[in-house]
Amino acid sequence: MTTTKNLSTKTIGFTHEDFEKLLDQYDYHFSPGDIVAGTVFSMEPRGALIDIGAKTAAYIPIQEMSINRVDDPSEVLQANETREFFILTDENEDGQLTLSIRRIEYMRAWERVRQLQTEDATVRSSVFATNRGGALVRIEGLRGFIPGSHISTREAKEDLVGQDLPLKFLEVDEDRNRLVLSHRRALVERKMNGLEVGQVVIGSVRGIKPYGAFIDIGGVSGLLHISEISHDHIDTPHSVFNVNDELKVMIIDLDAERGRISLSTKQLEPEAGDMLKNRDLVFEKAEEMAAKYREKMRAEAEGTPIEEEIDAPSALDEEELALAAAEE
């Protein structure tokens, strides 16, 4: 009997130290930045304890539970629920890890908006605040900014709060935490769907700059560059137009990617200088001159230009266009 007991001890001899070493051998090693599966172990007033297979239950504070504001942990987590968690920090002095759901949501939100930008998608979002520079919205939970120059409305910015706007992406930069959008581009794109080069539209002068006039055509703005006002030389657009003047203009370029519409009255002149000498005649003959313009453009595209020449749309200086877009 004594022999058997001694044999058993020698065979099984397994101390607490041996057991801890065995646990360490099979213990998972967790590092900040890892995404792991975890089960809600206990709900706390301002957080929750999560079992992720570590020696000590990990902790997720309420501020890390969502990309959006959370007032109570039960809004996001339920007891015994299993889901993914992001390891935010290494073990503290008690051997406890800190977790985050918000970080996972941020990563996936940036991935989603990058994809939307690649697709040149139009998104909609409600303005939740404004500042001196523009308006603030949320896209996929991320805070986005609409510069004032890209808000296409005559309303005061403060009146935009609560309004749902169509938007296009201008800049998506996760490293700099910059998400910049354009309301103007979205409206121009929508308007462009019903417009075409060579079409005559009626608009009103919204603003005048040294390089041209901005013309409102049905809620979106096009640029009538100084070089496209008349065949005759013009010193300044202020000598030709006043704000709120109603005009007939022809579309000579549609740039959906940049949200720009280029216009011309020069191409509608029956005779050079008519925009300065007889504007009413230009508007009376606008559709007729536009039809000739389209015919000549079509003939040139087919390689059979007709004898009478027509001025091609001006190639505007890139720096000038950028300035126009910023001031629009």
Q: What is the rounded CA–CA span in Å between residue 178 and residue 171?
A: 7
One-letter amino acid identity for 1?
A: M
Residue owning tokens 């629009």: 328
DSSP state of 324: H
Task: Look at residue 37 and give its three-state secondary structure.
Answer: strand
28 confidence band (pLDDT: 50, 70, 90): low
* Count of other CB atoms within 10 angstroms of residue 130: 18
Q: What is the mean pLDDT of the chain?
A: 85
Q: Which CATH superfamily is domain 27-105 in?
A: Nucleic acid-binding proteins (2.40.50.140)
Domain 195-273 in the same topology as domain 120-188 = yes
User: Are 202 and 215 in contact, with CB atoms under 8 Å apart?
Assistant: no
Q: What is the pLDDT of residue 6?
A: 47
CATH architecture assignment, domain 195-273? Beta Barrel (2.40)
What are the pLDDT digits (tens) for 215-270? 998 778 899 999 999 999 999 999 999 999 999 999 999 887 777 899 999 999 99
Q: What are the residue boundaries of the structural domains of the chain, listed by start?
A: 27-105, 120-188, 195-273
Q: Where are the beta strands (DSSP E) in 131-229?
A: 134-139, 142-147, 164-173, 178-182, 200-209, 212-217, 220-225
309 confidence band (pLDDT: 50, 70, 90): very low
Q: What is the rounded CA–CA span in Å between residue 298 and residue 295?
A: 5
What are the pLDDT digits (tens) for 141-189? 999 999 998 988 777 888 899 999 999 999 999 999 999 999 988 888 8
> Between these two residues, 194 and 167, which has the higher pLDDT value?
167
User: Are 242 and 252 in contact, with CB atoms under 8 Å apart?
Assistant: no
Q: What is the pLDDT of residue 20?
A: 56
First-to-last CA distance in the chain?
Answer: 100
What are the pLDDT digits (tens) for 274-292? 999 999 999 999 999 999 9
CATH architecture assignment, domain 120-188? Beta Barrel (2.40)
DSSP state of 274: H
